[in-house]
Amino acid sequence: MCAGAYGAGDLPDNMTDAQRGALSKTVETCGTCHGVNGRSVSPTFPNLAAQQAPYIELQLKAFKDQSRADPDAQAYMWGMAAQLSDATISALAGYFAAQPAAPGRGGNSTLIAQGKSLFEEGVPTRGIPPCASCHGAHAEGMAAFPRLDGQHAPYLFKQLLVIQSVLRTAPVMHGVIKDLTKDQMQAVVAYLESI
Ligand code: HEC
Ligand code: HEC
């Protein structure tokens, strides 16, 4: 991975050269899966670009203390996060949050339309609130509420499954989606990948 793929200007100003060098190396490691610019090629690996910095920090700490414990978190991220200091976690979050977001990619238009209505309106008859009420009108997220737009649909689908089955502990989200059907999940993730 080429260190020149991102500019030193993306790293915090108040770092020493040694700190910048160490952070660049860490970013390269993360980049082998997530893309050095935070836009990953494989849908197994979530995009981190333009993700909310507070959310990234919370997740890295949850991998480090092993409270985010779904199988892929254990397999891929526990080891990665184990050695990160709080200062490095904060710098990594700032770096990835500052990268341009992944663009939306089209898909099945019927599914996308169903997903859009679910995202914006929820399912009032089943007590499911609009996803937009927490994740933002364009799924841009805010603070601890993650950005979802342009994210890989298979990754989002897998997260809905592991949150619903409580393999990933996320009490607020669990309450929201506990009655979401798999068809509804497929529709909403198709919409999110498309925007
Ligand atoms: C070997 C591949 C690999 C490497 C290297 C890697 N990750 Fe990950 N990362 C993953 C996978 C897979 C997931 C999804 C885990 C899951 O499904 O729960 C993930 C999830 C994440 C998440 C949660 C994203 C979300 O939307 O909830 C963050 C944040 C993250 N990684 C940051 C990093 C950082 C920072 C580094 C470098 C220190 C890094 N990763 C290195 C594979 C990797
Ligand atoms: C009451 C607020 C709230 C509502 C409503 C809500 N979410 Fe969430 N969502 C969250 C929070 C908070 C998280 C982060 C959980 C964590 O920290 O692990 C999250 C996480 C997620 C994730 C995991 C993202 C990632 O990168 O791993 C997905 C996918 C998701 N939400 C989809 C949805 C969908 C689809 C809906 C609508 C059916 C919805 N959310 C409604 C609060 C909400």
pLDDT in tens, 111-148: 999 999 999 999 999 899 999 999 999 999 999 999 99
What distance in angstroms lies between residue 8's CA and the mean position of ligand 2's atoms?
32
Statement: residue 2 has pLDDT above 70: no
Q: Is 70 in the pocket of ligand 1 (CB under 6 A)?
A: yes
Spatial distance between the Cα atoms of 159 and 164, rounded to a whole number of angstroms: 8
Long-range residue pairs from 39-47, CB within 8 A, at least 24 positions apart, any chain: 39/99, 39/100, 39/102, 40/152, 43/152, 43/153, 43/154, 43/155, 44/72, 44/154, 44/155, 45/152, 45/155, 46/151, 46/152, 46/155, 47/101, 47/102, 47/150, 47/151, 47/152
CA distance 107 to 102: 15
Contact criterion met (CB below 8 Å) for 180 and 114 = no
**pLDDT of the residue at 8:** 45
Ligand 2 contact, 162 CB (< 6 A):
no
- Over 90: is that where the pLDDT of 19 sits? no
Identify the pLDDT of residue 136.
98
Tell me if 31 sits within 8 A of 47, measured CB to CB: no
User: Is residue 27 in contact with ligand 2, taking CB distance under 6 Å?
Assistant: no
Q: Identify the pLDDT of residue 17.
A: 87
CB of 177 within 6 A of ligand 2: the answer is yes
Q: Rounded mean pLDDT of the chain?
A: 93
User: What's the gap in Å between 169 CA and the centre of ligand 2?
Assistant: 11
pLDDT at position 10: 61
Considering only CA atoms, which residue is closest to atom 24 of ligand 1?
46
Cβ of 78 below 6 Å from ligand 1? no
Tokens linked to 32: 């082998």
d(CA 24, CA 47): 18
